Structure 1
Amino acid sequence: MRLNDVKPQAGSKKRGRRVGRGVSAGQGASCGAGMRGQKARSGGGTRPGFEGGQQPLYRRLPKLKGFPLVNRKHYTTINVEKLATLAPNTEVTLESLLAAGILTDAKGDLKVLGNGELNVALQVKAAAFTNSARTKIEAAGGSCEIVN
């Protein structure tokens, strides 16, 4: 069998409608498009998503700064510069920071951010670290441990 021998199954291909060829042909005059209106005109119809001038759904939905995350993680954040006041070789956790008065309230797990300088070796246990915070803590001789 060759490519030029391939034919569709008998009866699977129907011929197209011959529109506008008189009343007896079944699709005369308006060719099945109705009397008047945008969809009856040549080239008629609208683009996908068009809603007749109303703001379309794809433009309405993510209005004003996008969708909020459904199950967003809330972190209690602290910068590395705040940890510089602690004594060397201190174990830093969310509870110890609250007890020391460095943090006043806990909105979620602890996340350490990398703003500022650190020259004290600390053992920091937090839920998340930024890359800059991790490098600064380890450069000062401390360690970072991820705790859930």
Structure 2
Amino acid sequence: MKLLTLVSLLVLVCCSNGKRLVEINTQTSFKADSGMDGSGHVSMQFTSTTGEHCSVSEMDHPSFNDYRTGAFDRYAGELTQGCYEHEFTDPLQDVFVQHWGSDAWRFDFVRVIFDDNTFVDCGSGNHNIDDGDSVLVPCTYN
């Protein structure tokens, strides 16, 4: 019985070809008035080519003022909320980004970093969203 359990565990470990999400980065545009002050926040949903998905209800780093003009912000560990160590067995296809609040946000891209140190960039620049606006941004592997 122990041998069967060990073999089952080894098959599960060796045959898992997924990547776990470990970090999300955002690049706020350098254009004037691209950043947000305290009156806005952003939610994101990441979706694979087969529909696997995870969500972050509010991208926020409590230790500093994120989303400033030109800022490259990093969200790791539990800051990625429902995406924390989410395993994607298929490539990411897109990210649905939604803005809440009265101060618009203009961003260039969202980057997703996986546990094998690979990453995917979503967006090609100049995405501008405001109070309730959303955008579906395609992802491209590098």
State TM-score, norm by structure 2.
0.27
State TM-score, norm by structure 1.
0.26
More helix by share: 1
Task: Flag the structure with more relative contact order, 1 or 2, with Cα contacts below 8 A and sequence separation at least 6.
Answer: 2
More strand by share: 2
